[in-house]
C-alpha cells in the first residue's frame, strides 16, 4: 500500500515545491497574465463599442442616403416635368410660327395671283386694242381705197367735228 499512499516527506516536498511555484507565478506571471486579460477585456469592450457606434453611423448614413435618394427622385421628376413643359411650349410656338408663315405665304400667293390676273387682263386689253386698230386700219384701207369715198368720208367727219 505504500504505492497508493505517499509518504509524509514526499507530501512535504510537494507542498514546498507547489508553494515555490505558486510564489514565482504570483510574483512574476500572475500580474502580467491578469493585466493581459484586463487589456484584452478592455480592447474587446472598446471594439464592441466601436462596432455599435459604426452600426449606428451606418444606420444614420443609410437613412441619409434614403433621404438624398428621395430628394434626387423628386428633383428628377421636377426636371422631367420642366422638360415636358418646355417641349410643349416649343411645339406650340413652332405650330404658331408655322401657321403664321402659312398665312403669310397664302396672302402673298393671293396677291401674286391677283397681280398676275390684272397683268393678264391688261395684256388681253392691249392685244384686243392692237387687234382692233389693225382691223380698223384694214377696214379703212379697203374703204378708203377709192378717192371719192375718201372725200365723202372726210366731208362727213369734218361736219361731225364742226357743228356749224
Tell me whether residue 143 is in a domain: yes
Q: Which domain covers residue 151, as residue numbers? A: 8-161
Residue 108 placed within a domain: yes
Which pLDDT band holds residue 163 (cuts at 50, 70, 90)?
low
Q: pLDDT tens-digit profile of 75-127? A: 999 999 999 999 999 999 999 999 999 999 999 999 999 999 999 999 999 99
In a domain, 2, yes or no: no
What pLDDT was estimated at residue 164? 58
Provide the pLDDT for residue 150.
74
Distance, CA of 123 to CA of 30 (rounded, Å) = 134
Tell me if 3 is assigned to some domain: no
The set of cell numbers assigned to 100 is 403664321
Cβ atoms of 134 and 144 within 8 Å: the answer is no
Cα torsion through 80, 83, 85, 86, rounded to 10:
170
Tell whether 1 is covered by a domain. Answer: no
User: Does residue 51 sit within a domain?
Assistant: yes
Residues 6+ apart with CB under 8 A from 149: 143
d(CA 14, CA 22): 12
Supply 76's cell numbers.
Answer: 428628377
As a whole number of angstroms, the distance between CA 34 and CA 41 comes to 10
Half-sphere exposure for 159 (CA within 13 Å, toward CB): 6
In a domain, 151, yes or no: yes
Domain count, the chain: 1
Within a domain: 116: yes
Whether 1 shows a pLDDT value over 60: the answer reads no
Which residues neighbour 144 within 8 Å (Cβ) at sequence distance 6 or greater? 150, 153
The set of cell numbers assigned to 146 is: 377709192
Amino acid at each position: 500500500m505504500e504505492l497508493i499512499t505517499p509518504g509524509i516527506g514526499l507530501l512535504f516536498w510537494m507542498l514546498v515545491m507547489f508553494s515555490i511555484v505558486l510564489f514565482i507565478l504570483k510574483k512574476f506571471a500572475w500580474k502580467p497574465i491578469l493585466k493581459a486579460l484586463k487589456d484584452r477585456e478592455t480592447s474587446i469592450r472598446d471594439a464592441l463599442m466601436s462596432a455599435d457606434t459604426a452600426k449606428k453611423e451606418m444606420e444614420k448614413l443609410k437613412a441619409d442616403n434614403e433621404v438624398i435618394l428621395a430628394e434626387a427622385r423628386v428633383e428628377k421628376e421636377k426636371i422631367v416635368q420642366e422638360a415636358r413643359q418646355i417641349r410643349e411650349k416649343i411645339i406650340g410656338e413652332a405650330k404658331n410660327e408655322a401657321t403664321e408663315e402659312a398665312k403669310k405665304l397664302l396672302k402673298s400667293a393671293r396677291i401674286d395671283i391677283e397681280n398676275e390676273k390684272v397683268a393678264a387682263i391688261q395684256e388681253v386689253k392691249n392685244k384686243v386694242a392692237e387687234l382692233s386698230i389693225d382691223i380698223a386700219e384694214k377696214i379703212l384701207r379697203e374703204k378708203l381705197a377709192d378717192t371719192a369715198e375718201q372725200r365723202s368720208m372726210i366731208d362727213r367727219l369734218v361736219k361731225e367735228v364742226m357743228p356749224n
